[in-house]
Amino acid sequence: MKQTENSPVLPLNSELLIRASRPGDYEQMAVMLNQPGVRRGTLRLPYTRPEEVRSWLEKPSDGGLQLVAERDGVILGAAGLHRQAGRRHHAAMLGMSVHDAYQRQGIGKSLLLELIDAADNWLNITRIELTVFTDNAGAITLYEAAGFVTEGVHKA
């Protein structure tokens, strides 16, 4: 694998650390969010500025949880639960991104399992919702393996 500024090469045998995100993560997260594969799999606009990510990370929690996966100090993925308000307080939206160079290595699975555990055992969230493009086979396989089911398909 060729090393570039946007895809650091890290040894696969290094330990993956899952931890809470912090405002200082903004630059690495912006690099990850601007990866072509990450951007293609989301509804985000291209060219996310680091300052936008910093502002988002500095916002107070909505009662959910935002995690990052890092190896050797490099952020490889991020995922979060964003609790709904009012009568939907029992539900949370899930969002997840894994750096293009590190997809299909178990990083998304590790993040997802940590979020499900937190929802079940700490946050009293009984429903996790997410949206995924129908052509994102890898993500769909991951979510189905974790027990998610398709409730509908948006047209256009």
Q: Is 29 within 8 Å of 78 (Cβ atoms)?
A: yes
Q: pLDDT band for 10, please (50, 70, 90 cuts).
A: very low
β-bridge mates for residue 70, sequence order? 17, 75
Q: Is 95 within 8 Å of 77 (Cβ atoms)?
A: no
Cα–Cα distance between 86 and 33 in angstroms, integer?
A: 30
| pTM (predicted TM-score) | 0.86
Tens digits of per-residue pLDDT, 32-47?
999 998 988 788 888 9
Query: 18: how many CB neighbours lie within 10 A of its CB?
Result: 16
What pLDDT is attached to residue 12?
52
For the chain, give me the number of helices (H) and strands (E)?
A: 5, 5
What pLDDT is attached to residue 13?
56
- Give, as one character, the DSSP assignment of residue 15: P
Cα–Cα distance between 108 and 117 in angstroms, integer?
A: 14
**Rounded to the nearest 10 degrees, how much is the dihedral formed by the CA atoms of 49, 52, 53, 55?**
150
Strand-pair category, 65-71 with 74-83: antiparallel
